Structure 1
Amino acid sequence: IVTTRKEDVASTVQARSDQWHQPEKLENEECWSIIKERAVRDSPISHELEPIGKEIAEQCQGVPLVANVIGGLMNKIELSPSAWWEIQRNSIWGSPESVLEVESVLKLSFDRLSSPSLKKCLAYCAMFPKDYCFKKKELIQLWMAEGFLGSSMAMVDNGNKYLNELLSNSLFQDVKKDTCGNILTFKMHDSVHDFIFVCVKIDVFKKLSKSFTRLRVLKLVGAYYILELPYSLGELKHLRYLDISRTSIKALEALGFKDIHLSGSPNIAVLWFRDVHLSGWIGKFDKLEALELGSPNELRGEFEIRRLQCVRDKQEANGANLHLKENLCKLIFDFKGSDSDNSEEVMESLQPHSNLQSLAVSSYQGNSFPSWMLRSVGDSGLFLLNNLVELNFYDCHNCESLPPLSQLQQLQFLELRNLKKVKVATKVLMI
């Protein structure tokens, strides 16, 4: 099956014209339904606004993208006849007899974005291939690295705010969320990509030059043949995002960071790696936000800690200070490969913040779960994990009992796998 918006593409793949299926355009009432859902959500719509809204829906000429974008735009304006008439009478629609130019509608939405920085963030996304699946966390980190989100501690908050505005304007689509409702991935519509790439002239596309001295983002994912990087990398004063995942670099010494007084690279804010020795080096990146355990406490989103069997003792585990990371919504603890007898004290020292929404524990070797899973906090009577929506225990072979799951008032998703010694009690699960 081939899907395309262009007949010449269908001809190129030698599809027979009698096998073509051309979906009909939306009815005006269907466009109005889309606009109404995007523009007013659950708010009641007045008798004054409805006829104006239906006229706007008719002007969409049955194009779903236009209805979505216009609805998202109308969500940001006042719910008044004058504001809606301004949209209906805008020059983007042309004459009733003319064919609607989708690009003119996209330009109207783009022009009304809240800030120049937000426009740069959207334009940056057009540098990726069409149909690229953006990961929310990674994209915000890239925006940070490019300097689009300012330089304050509120950069991640600004990134989330910008992303939500772009989503509400239907400039991204195919949004996927986790079980807690947090956005994971999304894509840019082809027409939006074309419009941004061809029509929008923003400095983002003028930044490339023959010299890389102002390089901010460097991704080397999967380059297995790379054993080390040149010492000159430490001279890149503007580098903010470095990804060496799945390379053959085994220690940060290979990055050339032997001089702790390097003026540039310690400014790195996001560092991605796997199977790289960190001991003694992580503290040299003063502004690291994405992976440093001890600080800062702005670490947010999903955080996975593997090979916990390598943690020596509870003092080392305490250094993670997870109880201070109030913006973390998901934690994954993986003890796979562990045969040590310190699993319980390590787990006890990994107490998260009470805001945590999702927790997964794999291959834990302790006989019981940590006390922070079992007790209430303060005089409230609420359990530390009271905000937990999702809980997964995998291959915890030695545990003989479960935490009091009936006390987790927000819990919606529970998965227990290979807990061989646990005897599930009716009281625990509230069956």
Structure 2
Amino acid sequence: MRQTWRWFGPHDLTSIDDILQSGAEGVVSALHHIPYGAVWTPEEIARRHREVGTRRDGSPSGLAWEVVESLPVSEDIKKQTGDWRTHIANYQTSLRHLAEAGIEVICYNFMPVLDWTRTDLHWRLPHGGTCMRFDLNDFAAYDIHILARPGAADDYPATVVEEAARRFARMDDAAQKRIAGNVTMGLPGSTESMSLEDVRTHLAQYGAISPDQLRSHFIAFLEQVVPVAEKLGLRLCCHPDDPPFPLLGLPRIMSTGDDLRQILQAVDSPSNGMTLCSGSLGARPDNDLPAIMRALGDRVHFLHLRNTRREGEAVMASFYEAEHLGGDTDMVALIAAIFEEERRRKAAGRADWQIPMRPDHGQDILDDLGRKAQPGYPTIGRMKGLAELRGIMTALDHASVRYSTGT
């Protein structure tokens, strides 16, 4: 695996110098300042390349922008409304510009409205650090009582509805604003959240779109962009839903291994791939991450390695961001499955045999606490995660281990 690091640009509290010291080999970034649906110009792409390649003192960093995360799909494309055809044409143009700049891996997602959803961005852990958390009861309190979505209570078990009412009754105005802000913080590269009216407007626009219809819109998008990507030698990789179950009445179509398989088969091309995010998929008890990697590994173009700890075995349940080796996903077994796929690719002569990975999210520890970094992206917490993952990788790839297992 090639070890990479997500960087949000010059405003990121983790600097290029910090990334070098983490031992990462490449950078994952995006042009978050460009509006959804607009073209990524060669000039803006070149600027980000220069920023990645330069240390604070102006000397070369030796790092390169290797993976795009994300080239966003506009809400118009997802709903097939407004300027969606123009946005697809612009997406194709952006892909050409990225290929000209030497970038081959492009991550994106097809989640309606939000890229991820949490109820607490700084949940206190026993060791004194903090992490992000999704509390189902708090989320139901937001959905039913703060957002006041019509029919919201029907989407939750009766016990959750009752507990949500109790929690809402204890919330003052500040607590209500805090949870509303946390829930809508899942905008890529953003430190802002949407207002309640913004959320209601988006939900109203999606109200008539079923999961099957959203899937058909997704396939229509892929039918337009995948041939362009294939011609350019690009690898597109869709990120799964986070969390991987329906929220706010919105359709979810990338939550299970079967969901992923349907999309990969619908537009059957090496350029139509997936981002295997162990944290997103691992928040469901019925997702077996090593098995998914073994079944669909041929089309895994990017890896997000993180872990979650579920607080129940229902599909929809509370969870928190655990240490990279400490959650419900067996990270050793997953990395072993990844290595199997990389060896298979190398033996087949594939140029993309080495799959880029990044330590996804992380707990806020030590100097991370109080730094107000991008939610989920602390410097030290991610560095700790990368070190843990690197240790597993080194052990599994050691000659004595490979010899003893016959691989």
Calculate the TM-score normalised by the size of structure 1: 0.30
Structure number with the bigger relative contact order (C-alpha 8 A, sep ≥ 6) is 2
Higher helix share: 2
